[in-house]
A and B are shown apart, each in its own frame.
Chain A
Protein backbone atom coordinates (compact mmCIF):
# COMPACT_ATOMS: atom_id res chain seq x y z
CA UNK A 1 0.00 0.00 0.00
CA UNK A 2 1.41 3.35 -1.07
CA UNK A 3 0.58 6.73 0.35
CA UNK A 4 0.52 9.81 -1.87
CA UNK A 5 0.24 13.29 -0.34
CA UNK A 6 -0.73 16.35 -2.40
CA UNK A 7 0.55 19.65 -0.99
CA UNK A 8 1.47 23.07 -2.32
CA UNK A 9 2.92 25.45 0.27
CA UNK A 10 0.82 28.31 -1.07
CA UNK A 11 -2.94 28.08 -0.89
CA UNK A 12 -5.11 28.34 -3.97
CA UNK A 13 -2.70 26.74 -6.44
CA UNK A 14 -5.22 24.03 -7.32
CA UNK A 15 -4.25 21.34 -4.82
CA UNK A 16 -7.79 20.14 -4.16
CA UNK A 17 -8.73 20.25 -7.88
CA UNK A 18 -5.71 18.07 -8.64
CA UNK A 19 -6.56 15.68 -5.80
CA UNK A 20 -10.20 15.21 -6.86
CA UNK A 21 -9.12 14.71 -10.46
CA UNK A 22 -6.61 12.07 -9.41
CA UNK A 23 -9.28 10.50 -7.21
CA UNK A 24 -11.46 10.19 -10.31
CA UNK A 25 -8.81 8.60 -12.55
CA UNK A 26 -7.06 6.55 -9.84
CA UNK A 27 -7.14 2.78 -9.44
CA UNK A 28 -10.42 1.33 -8.29
CA UNK A 29 -9.66 0.63 -4.66
CA UNK A 30 -7.85 3.90 -3.90
CA UNK A 31 -8.71 5.28 -0.46
CA UNK A 32 -9.08 9.06 -0.10
CA UNK A 33 -8.15 11.21 2.89
CA UNK A 34 -8.79 14.93 3.28
CA UNK A 35 -6.14 16.22 5.66
CA UNK A 36 -6.91 19.90 5.14
CA UNK A 37 -8.95 19.64 8.31
CA UNK A 38 -9.58 23.33 8.89
CA UNK A 39 -10.83 24.00 5.36
CA UNK A 40 -11.91 20.62 4.09
CA UNK A 41 -13.08 20.91 0.47
CA UNK A 42 -12.92 17.40 -1.03
CA UNK A 43 -16.49 16.67 0.18
CA UNK A 44 -17.84 19.49 -2.03
CA UNK A 45 -17.00 17.48 -5.12
CA UNK A 46 -17.15 13.93 -3.80
CA UNK A 47 -20.64 14.26 -2.23
CA UNK A 48 -19.91 11.89 0.64
CA UNK A 49 -22.52 9.94 2.53
CA UNK A 50 -21.43 9.36 6.09
CA UNK A 51 -20.88 5.74 7.04
CA UNK A 52 -19.67 6.50 10.53
CA UNK A 53 -18.41 9.42 12.56
CA UNK A 54 -16.56 9.98 15.77
CA UNK A 55 -15.96 13.07 17.92
CA UNK A 56 -12.33 14.02 18.30
CA UNK A 57 -11.29 15.11 21.78
CA UNK A 58 -7.74 16.22 22.25
CA UNK A 59 -7.01 19.61 23.75
CA UNK A 60 -7.89 20.64 27.28
CA UNK A 61 -9.14 23.82 28.88
CA UNK A 62 -8.68 25.00 32.46
CA UNK A 63 -11.93 25.44 34.41
CA UNK A 64 -12.16 27.02 37.88
CA UNK A 65 -14.49 25.61 40.52
CA UNK A 66 -15.49 28.75 42.41
CA UNK A 67 -16.77 26.66 45.32
CA UNK A 68 -13.14 25.73 46.03
CA UNK A 69 -11.26 28.82 44.75
CA UNK A 70 -9.81 31.01 47.51
CA UNK A 71 -8.74 33.84 45.17
CA UNK A 72 -5.09 33.29 46.14
CA UNK A 73 -3.84 34.26 42.68
CA UNK A 74 -1.16 31.57 42.35
CA UNK A 75 -2.51 30.55 38.93
CA UNK A 76 -2.43 34.17 37.75
CA UNK A 77 1.23 34.43 38.64
CA UNK A 78 2.44 31.38 36.72
CA UNK A 79 0.39 31.35 33.49
CA UNK A 80 2.60 32.17 30.48
CA UNK A 81 -0.30 32.64 28.07
CA UNK A 82 -2.20 35.51 29.78
CA UNK A 83 -5.08 33.09 30.10
CA UNK A 84 -5.88 33.97 33.71
CA UNK A 85 -7.53 37.35 34.14
CA UNK A 86 -8.11 39.26 37.36
CA UNK A 87 -11.29 41.27 37.83
CA UNK A 88 -12.50 42.71 41.14
CA UNK A 89 -10.26 40.38 43.15
CA UNK A 90 -11.51 37.26 41.34
CA UNK A 91 -9.73 35.16 38.72
CA UNK A 92 -11.17 34.03 35.41
CA UNK A 93 -9.98 31.80 32.56
CA UNK A 94 -9.72 33.43 29.15
CA UNK A 95 -10.56 30.34 27.14
CA UNK A 96 -9.21 31.82 23.90
CA UNK A 97 -5.76 32.29 25.42
CA UNK A 98 -5.69 29.05 27.43
CA UNK A 99 -3.12 26.70 25.91
CA UNK A 100 -4.32 23.70 27.92
CA UNK A 101 -0.95 23.11 29.56
CA UNK A 102 -2.46 22.45 32.98
CA UNK A 103 0.30 24.29 34.89
CA UNK A 104 -2.33 26.26 36.86
CA UNK A 105 -4.10 23.06 37.90
CA UNK A 106 -0.83 21.75 39.37
CA UNK A 107 -0.06 24.86 41.43
CA UNK A 108 -3.57 25.54 42.74
CA UNK A 109 -3.36 24.80 46.50
CA UNK A 110 -7.09 24.13 46.83
CA UNK A 111 -7.45 21.92 43.73
CA UNK A 112 -9.98 24.32 42.31
CA UNK A 113 -8.77 24.07 38.72
CA UNK A 114 -9.53 21.06 36.59
CA UNK A 115 -8.58 20.39 32.99
CA UNK A 116 -11.57 19.57 30.80
CA UNK A 117 -11.18 17.76 27.47
CA UNK A 118 -12.42 19.78 24.50
CA UNK A 119 -14.11 18.51 21.40
CA UNK A 120 -11.72 19.71 18.68
CA UNK A 121 -13.52 18.25 15.72
CA UNK A 122 -15.32 15.36 14.09
CA UNK A 123 -13.78 12.52 12.09
CA UNK A 124 -15.99 11.11 9.35
CA UNK A 125 -15.83 7.99 7.22
CA UNK A 126 -17.91 8.33 4.06
CA UNK A 127 -18.80 6.65 0.80
CA UNK A 128 -18.41 8.91 -2.22
CA UNK A 129 -20.09 9.03 -5.60
CA UNK A 130 -16.81 7.75 -7.11
CA UNK A 131 -17.26 4.50 -5.21
CA UNK A 132 -14.11 5.22 -3.22
CA UNK A 133 -14.06 5.62 0.51
CA UNK A 134 -13.24 9.04 1.96
CA UNK A 135 -11.82 9.80 5.40
CA UNK A 136 -12.26 13.43 6.37
CA UNK A 137 -12.69 15.69 9.35
CA UNK A 138 -13.95 19.02 10.48
CA UNK A 139 -11.89 20.93 12.96
CA UNK A 140 -13.89 23.18 15.25
CA UNK A 141 -13.24 26.85 14.44
CA UNK A 142 -10.02 27.97 16.09
CA UNK A 143 -9.46 24.56 17.61
CA UNK A 144 -5.99 23.39 18.54
CA UNK A 145 -4.31 20.16 17.55
CA UNK A 146 -5.00 20.19 13.84
CA UNK A 147 -1.80 18.13 13.50
CA UNK A 148 -3.22 15.41 15.73
CA UNK A 149 -6.49 15.37 13.84
CA UNK A 150 -4.57 15.08 10.56
CA UNK A 151 -2.68 12.10 11.99
CA UNK A 152 -5.94 10.53 13.08
CA UNK A 153 -7.57 10.96 9.64
CA UNK A 154 -4.52 9.51 7.91
CA UNK A 155 -4.02 6.59 10.21
CA UNK A 156 -7.68 5.63 10.06
CA UNK A 157 -7.54 5.77 6.25
CA UNK A 158 -4.36 3.68 6.12
CA UNK A 159 -5.75 1.06 8.46
CA UNK A 160 -8.82 0.73 6.26
CA UNK A 161 -6.66 0.54 3.12
CA UNK A 162 -4.53 -2.25 4.60
CA UNK A 163 -7.57 -4.21 5.75
CA UNK A 164 -9.24 -3.93 2.37
CA UNK A 165 -6.26 -4.64 0.18
CA UNK A 166 -6.14 -1.15 -1.33
CA UNK A 167 -3.00 -0.22 -3.22
CA UNK A 168 -3.16 3.53 -2.70
CA UNK A 169 -4.12 6.14 -0.15
CA UNK A 170 -4.46 9.58 -1.75
CA UNK A 171 -4.17 12.48 0.71
CA UNK A 172 -5.15 16.11 0.20
CA UNK A 173 -2.85 18.13 2.48
CA UNK A 174 -3.17 21.64 3.82
CA UNK A 175 -1.32 24.82 2.82
CA UNK A 176 1.75 26.03 4.69
CA UNK A 177 4.69 24.17 6.21
CA UNK A 178 3.56 23.93 9.85
CA UNK A 179 2.18 21.17 12.05
CA UNK A 180 -0.74 19.91 9.91
CA UNK A 181 1.55 19.62 6.86
CA UNK A 182 4.33 17.94 8.81
CA UNK A 183 1.76 15.56 10.25
CA UNK A 184 0.42 14.72 6.77
CA UNK A 185 3.95 13.94 5.50
CA UNK A 186 4.93 11.30 8.01
CA UNK A 187 5.05 7.90 6.38
CA UNK A 188 4.25 9.11 2.84
CA UNK A 189 5.72 7.37 -0.23
CA UNK A 190 5.27 10.21 -2.70
CA UNK A 191 4.57 13.92 -2.42
CA UNK A 192 2.86 15.62 -5.35
CA UNK A 193 3.60 19.34 -5.26
CA UNK A 194 1.05 21.58 -6.94
CA UNK A 195 2.43 24.99 -7.81
CA UNK A 196 1.49 27.96 -9.95
CA UNK A 197 3.66 30.28 -12.05
CA UNK A 198 3.64 33.27 -9.71
CA UNK A 199 6.56 34.52 -7.60
CA UNK A 200 4.50 33.65 -4.50
CA UNK A 201 3.81 30.14 -5.76
CA UNK A 202 7.49 29.58 -6.57
CA UNK A 203 8.69 31.07 -3.26
CA UNK A 204 6.34 28.81 -1.30
CA UNK A 205 7.25 25.78 -3.43
CA UNK A 206 10.93 26.19 -2.53
CA UNK A 207 10.08 26.28 1.20
CA UNK A 208 7.86 23.23 1.04
CA UNK A 209 10.51 21.30 -0.97
CA UNK A 210 13.05 22.11 1.78
CA UNK A 211 10.60 20.64 4.28
CA UNK A 212 9.87 17.46 2.30
CA UNK A 213 13.62 16.87 1.82
CA UNK A 214 13.97 16.57 5.59
CA UNK A 215 11.60 13.61 5.41
CA UNK A 216 13.46 12.08 2.42
CA UNK A 217 10.24 11.49 0.51
CA UNK A 218 10.20 11.31 -3.27
CA UNK A 219 8.54 14.26 -5.02
CA UNK A 220 6.75 15.00 -8.27
CA UNK A 221 5.42 18.36 -9.37
CA UNK A 222 2.32 19.58 -11.20
CA UNK A 223 2.69 23.12 -12.55
CA UNK A 224 -0.79 24.61 -12.64
CA UNK A 225 -1.69 27.89 -14.38
CA UNK A 226 1.58 27.35 -16.30
CA UNK A 227 0.93 30.16 -18.80
CA UNK A 228 0.35 33.01 -16.31
CA UNK A 229 4.06 33.84 -16.27
CA UNK A 230 6.39 32.01 -18.65
CA UNK A 231 9.56 33.31 -16.98
CA UNK A 232 8.51 32.01 -13.57
CA UNK A 233 7.45 28.77 -15.25
CA UNK A 234 10.94 28.33 -16.69
CA UNK A 235 12.49 29.09 -13.29
CA UNK A 236 10.26 26.52 -11.59
CA UNK A 237 11.24 23.87 -14.14
CA UNK A 238 14.92 24.61 -13.67
CA UNK A 239 14.49 24.46 -9.89
CA UNK A 240 12.64 21.15 -9.80
CA UNK A 241 15.11 19.71 -12.32
CA UNK A 242 18.01 20.66 -10.06
CA UNK A 243 16.24 19.08 -7.08
CA UNK A 244 15.60 15.82 -8.93
CA UNK A 245 11.83 16.32 -8.79
CA UNK A 246 9.87 14.85 -11.68
CA UNK A 247 7.72 17.24 -13.69
CA UNK A 248 4.44 15.34 -13.81
CA UNK A 249 2.30 17.84 -15.68
CA UNK A 250 2.02 21.40 -16.93
CA UNK A 251 -1.52 22.69 -17.09
CA UNK A 252 -2.32 26.07 -18.61
CA UNK A 253 -4.85 28.36 -16.98
CA UNK A 254 -8.30 27.20 -17.99
CA UNK A 255 -11.81 28.24 -17.00
CA UNK A 256 -12.51 24.49 -16.89
CA UNK A 257 -11.19 24.41 -13.30
CA UNK A 258 -13.70 26.90 -11.82
CA UNK A 259 -16.30 25.62 -14.30
CA UNK A 260 -15.90 22.05 -13.05
CA UNK A 261 -16.08 23.07 -9.42
CA UNK A 262 -19.21 25.15 -10.02
CA UNK A 263 -20.80 22.06 -11.59
CA UNK A 264 -19.77 19.93 -8.61
CA UNK A 265 -17.36 17.87 -10.73
CA UNK A 266 -13.64 17.25 -10.73
CA UNK A 267 -11.80 18.94 -13.61
CA UNK A 268 -10.98 15.44 -14.97
CA UNK A 269 -14.69 14.63 -15.26
CA UNK A 270 -15.55 18.02 -16.74
CA UNK A 271 -13.06 18.09 -19.59
CA UNK A 272 -11.89 15.10 -21.69
CA UNK A 273 -8.58 16.86 -22.27
CA UNK A 274 -7.98 17.24 -18.55
CA UNK A 275 -9.05 13.63 -18.03
CA UNK A 276 -6.24 12.48 -20.35
CA UNK A 277 -3.80 14.78 -18.59
CA UNK A 278 -4.68 13.46 -15.12
CA UNK A 279 -4.59 9.84 -16.35
CA UNK A 280 -1.02 10.52 -17.38
CA UNK A 281 -0.29 12.06 -13.95
CA UNK A 282 -1.75 8.98 -12.28
CA UNK A 283 0.38 6.66 -14.43
CA UNK A 284 3.45 8.64 -13.39
CA UNK A 285 2.27 8.43 -9.78
CA UNK A 286 2.15 4.64 -10.02
CA UNK A 287 5.60 4.56 -11.60
CA UNK A 288 7.10 6.87 -8.98
CA UNK A 289 5.70 4.78 -6.15
CA UNK A 290 7.28 1.76 -7.76
CA UNK A 291 4.23 -0.34 -8.50
CA UNK A 292 4.36 -0.24 -12.27
Chain B
Protein backbone atom coordinates (compact mmCIF):
# COMPACT_ATOMS: atom_id res chain seq x y z
CA UNK B 1 0.00 0.00 0.00
CA UNK B 2 1.48 3.33 -1.08
CA UNK B 3 0.24 6.53 0.46
CA UNK B 4 1.22 9.97 -0.81
CA UNK B 5 0.89 12.98 1.48
CA UNK B 6 0.31 15.99 -0.77
CA UNK B 7 -1.23 19.45 -0.56
CA UNK B 8 -1.05 22.00 -3.36
CA UNK B 9 -0.12 24.89 -1.07
CA UNK B 10 3.20 24.75 0.78
CA UNK B 11 3.30 24.85 4.56
CA UNK B 12 -0.07 23.20 5.17
CA UNK B 13 1.56 20.43 7.23
CA UNK B 14 2.58 17.67 4.82
CA UNK B 15 5.83 16.93 6.59
CA UNK B 16 4.11 17.22 9.97
CA UNK B 17 1.49 14.63 8.97
CA UNK B 18 3.88 12.35 7.07
CA UNK B 19 6.48 12.07 9.86
CA UNK B 20 3.93 11.60 12.64
CA UNK B 21 1.79 9.18 10.64
CA UNK B 22 4.71 7.03 9.49
CA UNK B 23 6.10 6.92 13.04
CA UNK B 24 2.68 5.96 14.42
CA UNK B 25 2.15 3.20 11.84
CA UNK B 26 5.67 1.84 12.40
CA UNK B 27 4.66 0.94 15.95
CA UNK B 28 2.25 -1.54 14.36
CA UNK B 29 3.95 -2.78 11.21
CA UNK B 30 6.99 -2.29 8.95
CA UNK B 31 6.70 1.12 7.39
CA UNK B 32 8.72 3.24 5.01
CA UNK B 33 8.71 7.02 4.91
CA UNK B 34 10.15 8.66 1.79
CA UNK B 35 10.82 12.37 1.57
CA UNK B 36 10.13 13.22 -2.07
CA UNK B 37 10.23 16.98 -1.51
CA UNK B 38 13.76 16.77 -2.88
CA UNK B 39 14.17 20.54 -3.26
CA UNK B 40 13.51 21.24 0.41
CA UNK B 41 13.42 17.93 2.31
CA UNK B 42 12.53 18.39 5.98
CA UNK B 43 11.46 14.98 7.27
CA UNK B 44 15.03 14.24 8.43
CA UNK B 45 14.66 17.00 11.02
CA UNK B 46 12.03 14.82 12.72
CA UNK B 47 13.24 11.25 12.17
CA UNK B 48 16.49 10.37 13.91
CA UNK B 49 17.52 6.88 12.88
CA UNK B 50 20.69 4.96 12.05
CA UNK B 51 21.99 5.55 8.55
CA UNK B 52 22.25 2.16 6.83
CA UNK B 53 22.88 3.27 3.26
CA UNK B 54 23.96 6.38 1.38
CA UNK B 55 24.62 7.05 -2.28
CA UNK B 56 25.01 9.81 -4.82
CA UNK B 57 22.37 10.08 -7.53
CA UNK B 58 23.00 10.94 -11.15
CA UNK B 59 21.31 11.83 -14.36
CA UNK B 60 22.96 11.20 -17.70
CA UNK B 61 23.72 13.88 -20.23
CA UNK B 62 25.57 13.83 -23.54
CA UNK B 63 29.21 14.90 -23.66
CA UNK B 64 30.72 15.95 -26.95
CA UNK B 65 33.56 13.82 -28.26
CA UNK B 66 35.16 15.73 -31.10
CA UNK B 67 37.18 12.87 -32.62
CA UNK B 68 34.73 11.59 -35.26
CA UNK B 69 32.26 14.50 -35.25
CA UNK B 70 31.55 16.02 -38.67
CA UNK B 71 29.38 18.82 -37.25
CA UNK B 72 26.44 17.51 -39.27
CA UNK B 73 24.03 19.08 -36.79
CA UNK B 74 21.70 16.10 -36.44
CA UNK B 75 22.00 16.28 -32.62
CA UNK B 76 20.73 19.85 -32.59
CA UNK B 77 17.90 18.95 -34.95
CA UNK B 78 16.60 16.07 -32.85
CA UNK B 79 16.82 17.78 -29.44
CA UNK B 80 13.41 19.10 -28.48
CA UNK B 81 14.73 20.99 -25.46
CA UNK B 82 17.40 23.17 -27.11
CA UNK B 83 19.97 21.46 -24.89
CA UNK B 84 22.37 20.74 -27.77
CA UNK B 85 23.68 23.53 -29.93
CA UNK B 86 25.92 23.36 -32.96
CA UNK B 87 28.29 26.31 -33.04
CA UNK B 88 30.97 27.23 -35.56
CA UNK B 89 33.57 24.73 -34.42
CA UNK B 90 31.88 22.44 -31.97
CA UNK B 91 28.83 21.13 -30.16
CA UNK B 92 27.68 22.73 -26.93
CA UNK B 93 25.58 20.88 -24.36
CA UNK B 94 23.42 22.73 -21.79
CA UNK B 95 23.05 20.19 -18.95
CA UNK B 96 20.26 22.09 -17.18
CA UNK B 97 18.06 21.86 -20.28
CA UNK B 98 18.75 18.19 -20.96
CA UNK B 99 15.99 15.67 -20.21
CA UNK B 100 18.22 12.60 -20.72
CA UNK B 101 16.16 11.22 -23.61
CA UNK B 102 19.30 9.94 -25.42
CA UNK B 103 17.98 11.06 -28.84
CA UNK B 104 21.09 13.10 -29.75
CA UNK B 105 23.42 10.42 -28.46
CA UNK B 106 21.79 7.42 -30.12
CA UNK B 107 20.89 9.15 -33.37
CA UNK B 108 24.34 10.64 -33.91
CA UNK B 109 25.76 8.83 -36.97
CA UNK B 110 29.30 9.09 -35.60
CA UNK B 111 28.71 8.29 -31.91
CA UNK B 112 30.08 11.68 -30.98
CA UNK B 113 27.79 12.31 -28.03
CA UNK B 114 28.26 9.51 -25.51
CA UNK B 115 26.08 9.80 -22.39
CA UNK B 116 27.93 10.59 -19.15
CA UNK B 117 26.56 10.70 -15.62
CA UNK B 118 26.36 14.00 -13.70
CA UNK B 119 25.47 14.21 -10.04
CA UNK B 120 22.05 15.66 -9.17
CA UNK B 121 21.74 14.80 -5.49
CA UNK B 122 21.96 12.20 -2.76
CA UNK B 123 19.87 9.43 -1.28
CA UNK B 124 20.11 8.34 2.34
CA UNK B 125 18.41 5.40 3.99
CA UNK B 126 17.89 5.47 7.78
CA UNK B 127 16.33 2.89 10.08
CA UNK B 128 14.59 3.44 13.38
CA UNK B 129 12.76 0.40 14.80
CA UNK B 130 10.26 -0.75 12.18
CA UNK B 131 10.56 2.51 10.26
CA UNK B 132 12.71 2.80 7.14
CA UNK B 133 13.27 6.44 6.23
CA UNK B 134 14.52 7.44 2.79
CA UNK B 135 15.63 10.98 2.11
CA UNK B 136 16.43 12.23 -1.38
CA UNK B 137 18.05 15.66 -1.59
CA UNK B 138 18.57 17.68 -4.76
CA UNK B 139 21.91 19.45 -5.22
CA UNK B 140 21.57 23.22 -5.05
CA UNK B 141 21.51 24.74 -8.53
CA UNK B 142 20.09 21.60 -10.15
CA UNK B 143 16.84 22.56 -11.86
CA UNK B 144 15.07 19.28 -12.43
CA UNK B 145 13.57 17.54 -9.41
CA UNK B 146 11.71 14.85 -11.35
CA UNK B 147 14.64 12.50 -12.16
CA UNK B 148 15.63 12.35 -8.48
CA UNK B 149 12.04 11.83 -7.31
CA UNK B 150 11.70 9.02 -9.81
CA UNK B 151 14.94 7.36 -8.64
CA UNK B 152 13.93 7.61 -4.97
CA UNK B 153 10.63 5.94 -5.86
CA UNK B 154 12.50 3.16 -7.65
CA UNK B 155 14.72 2.60 -4.60
CA UNK B 156 11.71 2.17 -2.31
CA UNK B 157 9.90 -0.08 -4.79
CA UNK B 158 12.94 -2.29 -5.06
CA UNK B 159 14.22 -2.47 -1.49
CA UNK B 160 11.14 -1.91 0.64
CA UNK B 161 8.29 -3.26 -1.42
CA UNK B 162 6.64 -5.16 1.43
CA UNK B 163 6.40 -2.14 3.70
CA UNK B 164 3.44 0.14 3.95
CA UNK B 165 4.80 3.24 2.24
CA UNK B 166 4.22 6.88 3.21
CA UNK B 167 5.60 9.59 0.89
CA UNK B 168 6.07 13.25 1.82
CA UNK B 169 5.46 15.07 -1.49
CA UNK B 170 6.55 18.49 -2.77
CA UNK B 171 4.05 21.39 -2.87
CA UNK B 172 2.37 22.63 -6.01
CA UNK B 173 0.60 20.87 -8.85
CA UNK B 174 3.40 20.89 -11.42
CA UNK B 175 5.59 18.01 -12.58
CA UNK B 176 7.44 17.28 -9.28
CA UNK B 177 4.15 16.93 -7.37
CA UNK B 178 2.63 14.75 -10.08
CA UNK B 179 5.72 12.52 -10.27
CA UNK B 180 5.51 12.00 -6.50
CA UNK B 181 1.93 10.72 -6.51
CA UNK B 182 2.21 8.69 -9.70
CA UNK B 183 2.53 5.30 -7.97
CA UNK B 184 0.30 6.06 -4.99
CA UNK B 185 -2.73 3.89 -4.20
CA UNK B 186 -4.11 6.61 -1.97
CA UNK B 187 -3.38 10.34 -1.89
CA UNK B 188 -3.98 12.07 1.43
CA UNK B 189 -4.37 15.81 0.91
CA UNK B 190 -3.37 17.94 3.86
CA UNK B 191 -5.63 20.98 3.65
CA UNK B 192 -5.31 24.25 5.52
CA UNK B 193 -8.75 25.91 5.76
CA UNK B 194 -7.58 29.43 4.80
CA UNK B 195 -8.41 31.22 1.54
CA UNK B 196 -4.97 30.44 0.05
CA UNK B 197 -5.11 26.88 1.33
CA UNK B 198 -8.59 26.30 -0.09
CA UNK B 199 -7.70 27.72 -3.50
CA UNK B 200 -4.62 25.53 -3.88
CA UNK B 201 -6.51 22.54 -2.45
CA UNK B 202 -9.13 22.76 -5.20
CA UNK B 203 -6.33 22.88 -7.82
CA UNK B 204 -4.84 19.72 -6.31
CA UNK B 205 -8.22 17.95 -6.25
CA UNK B 206 -8.60 18.79 -9.94
CA UNK B 207 -5.14 17.40 -10.69
CA UNK B 208 -5.77 14.20 -8.69
CA UNK B 209 -9.18 13.69 -10.30
CA UNK B 210 -7.48 14.00 -13.68
CA UNK B 211 -5.08 11.23 -12.64
CA UNK B 212 -7.99 9.13 -11.32
CA UNK B 213 -6.39 8.94 -7.87
CA UNK B 214 -8.26 7.88 -4.77
CA UNK B 215 -8.12 10.84 -2.40
CA UNK B 216 -9.00 11.61 1.21
CA UNK B 217 -8.52 14.80 3.20
CA UNK B 218 -6.83 15.67 6.47
CA UNK B 219 -7.71 19.14 7.72
CA UNK B 220 -4.75 20.71 9.48
CA UNK B 221 -4.88 23.90 11.59
CA UNK B 222 -8.60 23.22 11.94
CA UNK B 223 -10.33 26.27 13.43
CA UNK B 224 -8.33 28.81 11.45
CA UNK B 225 -10.02 30.40 8.43
CA UNK B 226 -13.42 29.14 7.29
CA UNK B 227 -15.53 26.06 6.37
CA UNK B 228 -15.09 26.26 2.58
CA UNK B 229 -12.91 23.15 2.49
CA UNK B 230 -15.40 21.04 4.47
CA UNK B 231 -18.32 22.23 2.35
CA UNK B 232 -16.39 21.52 -0.84
CA UNK B 233 -15.49 18.01 0.35
CA UNK B 234 -19.06 17.21 1.28
CA UNK B 235 -20.38 18.49 -2.04
CA UNK B 236 -17.83 16.46 -3.99
CA UNK B 237 -18.05 13.33 -1.77
CA UNK B 238 -14.41 13.52 -0.73
CA UNK B 239 -13.90 11.86 2.67
CA UNK B 240 -12.45 14.04 5.44
CA UNK B 241 -10.73 11.46 7.62
CA UNK B 242 -9.03 13.54 10.31
CA UNK B 243 -8.92 17.05 11.74
CA UNK B 244 -5.87 18.39 13.52
CA UNK B 245 -6.60 21.53 15.54
CA UNK B 246 -4.86 24.89 15.11
CA UNK B 247 -2.86 24.76 18.33
CA UNK B 248 0.21 26.80 19.16
CA UNK B 249 1.86 23.99 21.16
CA UNK B 250 1.92 21.82 18.02
CA UNK B 251 3.62 24.64 16.10
CA UNK B 252 6.23 24.99 18.84
CA UNK B 253 7.00 21.22 18.82
CA UNK B 254 7.20 21.34 15.02
CA UNK B 255 9.60 24.29 15.17
CA UNK B 256 11.98 22.16 17.29
CA UNK B 257 11.81 19.09 15.07
CA UNK B 258 9.78 17.09 17.61
CA UNK B 259 7.20 14.43 16.81
CA UNK B 260 3.86 14.78 18.57
CA UNK B 261 1.83 11.65 17.73
CA UNK B 262 2.66 10.09 21.13
CA UNK B 263 2.66 13.31 23.16
CA UNK B 264 -0.88 14.56 22.74
CA UNK B 265 -3.89 12.25 23.14
CA UNK B 266 -5.82 13.98 20.35
CA UNK B 267 -2.91 13.53 17.94
CA UNK B 268 -2.76 9.84 18.74
CA UNK B 269 -6.46 9.44 18.05
CA UNK B 270 -6.26 11.39 14.75
CA UNK B 271 -3.36 9.17 13.62
CA UNK B 272 -5.42 6.12 14.61
CA UNK B 273 -8.29 7.37 12.42
CA UNK B 274 -5.98 7.85 9.44
CA UNK B 275 -4.38 4.43 9.94
CA UNK B 276 -7.81 2.74 10.13
CA UNK B 277 -8.85 4.46 6.94
CA UNK B 278 -5.66 3.29 5.20
CA UNK B 279 -6.26 -0.31 6.32
CA UNK B 280 -9.87 -0.20 5.12
CA UNK B 281 -8.73 1.21 1.77
CA UNK B 282 -6.18 -1.59 1.38
CA UNK B 283 -8.87 -4.28 1.65
Contacts and interface: CB of A to CB of B under 8 A. Distances in A.
Contact of B101 (A101, A115, A201, A261): A101
A73 interface: no
Nearest to A232: B255
A146 B207 CA distance: 15
Contacts of A262: 194-195, 225-226
- Secondary structure at chain B's binding surface: helix, strand, loop or mixed? loop
Contacts of A60: 80
Residue from A38, A115, A179 having most chain B Cβ neighbours under 10 A: A38
Interface in A252-285: 253, 258, 261-262, 264
Q: Number of contact residues on B: which range applies?
A: 35 or more
A205 to B, nearest CB: 10
A99 B150 CA distance: 13
B264 to A, nearest CB: 17
B200 A41 contact: yes
Interface in B7-41: 8-12, 15, 37, 39-40
Contacts of A197: 255
A199 interface: yes
A131 interface: no
A201 B45 CA distance: 11
Contacts of A200: 15, 40, 42, 45, 254, 257
Given A78-B102, A142-B211, A180 B174 contact: yes
B257 A199 contact: yes
Given A11-B9, A261-B194, A80 B102 contact: yes
A182 interface: yes
A39 B145 contact: no
B144 A102 contact: no
A96 B143 contact: no
A103 B140 contact: no
A142 B210 contact: yes
Most buried by A among B39, B42, B100, B138: B39
Contacts of B260: none
Given A80-B101, A179-B143, A199 B172 contact: no
- Residue of A39, A101, A229 with most chain B CB atoms under a 10 A cut-off: A39
A142 B171 contact: no
B251 interface: yes
Given A102-B80, A142-B174, A10 B199 contact: no
A100 interface: yes
A281 B187 CA distance: 40
A99 B78 contact: no
A228 interface: yes
Contacts of A181: 39
B120 to A, nearest CB: 11
B269 to A, nearest CB: 25
Nearest to A197: B255
B103 A177 contact: no
B265 interface: no
27 contacts: A11-B12, A11-B171, A38-B174, A38-B177, A81-B101, A96-B182, A96-B211, A101-B81, A101-B99, A101-B103, A103-B101, A103-B103, A106-B103, A142-B211, A143-B175, A175-B11, A176-B37, A177-B140, A178-B145, A180-B174, A199-B256, A204-B42, A207-B40, A210-B140, A228-B255, A229-B255, A261-B225
Interface of A: 9-13, 16, 37-39, 41, 44, 60, 78, 80-81, 96, 99-103, 106-107, 115, 139, 141-144, 146-147, 174-182, 196-201, 203-204, 207-208, 210-211, 214, 225, 228-229, 232, 253, 258, 261-262, 264
